[in-house]
A and B are shown apart, each in its own frame.
Chain A
Amino acid sequence: MNNYILAVETSCDETAVAIVKNGTELVANAVSSQIDSHKRFGGVVPELASRHHVENITVVMEEAFQTAGITMDDITAVAVTEGPGLVGALLVGVNAAKALAFAHDKPLIGVHHIAGHIYANRLMNEFEFPLLSLVVSGGHTELILMKEHGKFEIIGETRDDAAGEAYDKIARTLNLPYPGGPKVDELAQKGNISIDFPRAWLEEESFDFSFSGLKSAVINTVHNAKQKGIEIKNEDVAASFQASVVEVLTEKTWRAAKKYQVKQVIIAGGVAANKGLRKGMEEKFRNENMDVFFPPLSLCTDNAAMIAAAGYIAYEQGHRADWALNANPSLDLENYGNKIK
């Protein structure tokens, strides 16, 4: 019999519902993006995001079922992002998922958002362990080691800003419209790496990251140039900034991959769509006997397909949530993995 996992994801500004068949086959991936609504504020307004989720949730559910051509009777279990994320936003998804599961007497599964980002790749390629994943997004910069399904070991993380956050701030400094990350990437493609921005390597053995120093250096450079009336091209600033980010991300990922002798490297999260990062990783790993995977664009940004893919593993491993499931904005990835036995 086929296993169908329906998943709901509302941790930030995308209302998403997806259905995945047998853990790896995507049969519906409905996403209602709120970018247009938040754009005028230059960032996500949490209360507004929560309101949109309530407006959209049943519409997006319906769309997913229409695409999949199945009904709730066919669904094996309902998975939902439990955290981390914006608490008000998460709550809408958690309660909608509970209602759906309850109405049809289906098992309920809480899923960690980052586990989802990693498992998005399993919709494309089967995992081989040990596996290293670099999760880079507006909220996360983490190196995660997996030795088996459903278990996560954080070996490195950012000590200040997430990579995506740094991108957004640089975009604002360069007066680029929200969301700025992709725009910086675009500009960087046209510029020269002419400014030597710092790279934060931290302690020799550390796989942690830090982007706040780089961020300040970029802002100061732009600011000083303006004051002195020196013209520097935005393209060059973007290219030089991106070069610094990409070098640190690729170098640390490469070192970790070598140290743990991994078979696969997975780049996940919104920043995985970055062209500079893709190129940098491909070059760095060209001569290594490891597979480097980037999910397709639609699976990089927040979506529910990834939650369904991670939810499938949790389901198979016997993880069940009860009706008291709550949103947990600071859900810990390693603890979450240990809950699944």
Chain B
Amino acid sequence: MNVLAIDTSNQLLGVALWKDNELKAEYTANIKRNHSIGLMPSINQLMKETDTSPKDLDRIAVAKGPGSYTGVRIGLATAKTLAWTLNIPIVAISSLELLARNIHNDKAFVSPFFDARRGLVYTGLYQRDTNDMKLVEKDCNILMTDWLTELQKLSSPVVFLSQDLEQHKKTIEEYLGENAVFPEPLLHFPRAGELAYLATKREADQTHTLTPNYIRMVEAEAKWLEKQKQDRSNHE
């Protein structure tokens, strides 16, 4: 199965090609740049070097967030259109799960996270289960301090993965002490190759209706819903 994987959900740009049962090519750039400029040239380069035509693809894999709203949309707009026009399945995977998969220690709890400003993070809790990654707490948008209070209850080591680690390291240590585990630097970068491989084993999503996992509602919409609720209770 030939899979093209796309991850533009955070600062890192990742594309990879899984072809003929192996990782053929993988490209990662960790540059602050608009993914709209970098994505298609990277795909083009990758396909050229591996002598692959779009028609050779069997599947598209995409990281669906959480992350940068714009970044996630660039990835999904590209992936959805490729899958639809090539008439091949699309597989969308959580950007947090993708990062968590860098950890291979059996039974380890893994908390990948992305900074979401004002003390908030996007995170979830995953656990290695021999060959797979189990979801323990689903992806959410939460105050880091609230999240750490929850993790304290586990009373066991938790591996933290993030490119924004430095910002939160002290707080994590304050809450979890010895149970806070920070692996070596390279493990904090999600791998598009992993995304491509994972997609070979996952069930496909519906191309037309596939949406990013923003986790957060549009602010205006959230306020509007809140107001509707208030108006209703005022009537009662």
Contact = CB atoms under 8 A, between A and B. Distances in A.
Interface of A: 40-41, 45, 47-48, 50-51, 53-55, 57-59, 61-62, 72, 88, 91-96, 98-100, 102-105, 322-327
The CB with the most chain A CB atoms within 10 A, among B38, B84, B211, B212, is that of B84
Contact of B78 (A45, A99, A322, A325): A99
Contacts of A92: 73, 77
Interface of B: 34, 36-41, 43-44, 54, 69-70, 73-74, 76-82, 84-86, 207-209, 211-212, 214, 218-221, 224
19 contacts: A40-B224, A50-B73, A51-B212, A54-B212, A57-B77, A61-B85, A91-B70, A92-B73, A94-B36, A95-B36, A96-B81, A99-B77, A99-B78, A102-B43, A102-B82, A103-B54, A103-B85, A324-B37, A324-B41
A55 B209 contact: yes
Contacts of B221: 45, 48
B101 to A, nearest CB: 25
A62 B208 CA distance: 10
A61 B81 contact: yes
Contact of A327 (B36, B69, B208, B212): B36
Contact of B218 (A47, A96, A323, A327): A47
B73 A54 contact: yes
A128 to B, nearest CB: 38
Contact of A88 (B70, B79, B209): B70
B74 A95 contact: yes
A218 to B, nearest CB: 27
Given A91-B73, A91-B74, A324-B38, 11 more contacts: A41-B220, A45-B218, A47-B220, A50-B73, A61-B85, A92-B77, A94-B36, A95-B81, A98-B40, A103-B54, A103-B85
Contacts, number: 109
Given A47-B218, A47-B219, A103-B86, A98 B76 contact: no
A139 B39 CA distance: 30
Given A54-B211, A88-B73, A92-B77, A48 B218 contact: yes
A99 B70 contact: no
A87 B52 CA distance: 32
B10 to A, nearest CB: 16
B80 A96 contact: yes
B209 A51 contact: no
A68 B221 CA distance: 36
Given A45-B220, A103-B54, A51 B214 contact: yes
A88 B54 contact: no
A257 to B, nearest CB: 40
Contact of A323 (B44, B70, B79): B44
Contact of B77 (A45, A54, A102): A54
Given A54-B77, A326-B34, A103 B82 contact: yes
Contacts of B41: 322-324
Contacts of A95: 36, 39-40, 73-74, 77-78, 81
Contacts of B84: 58, 61-62
A298 to B, nearest CB: 24
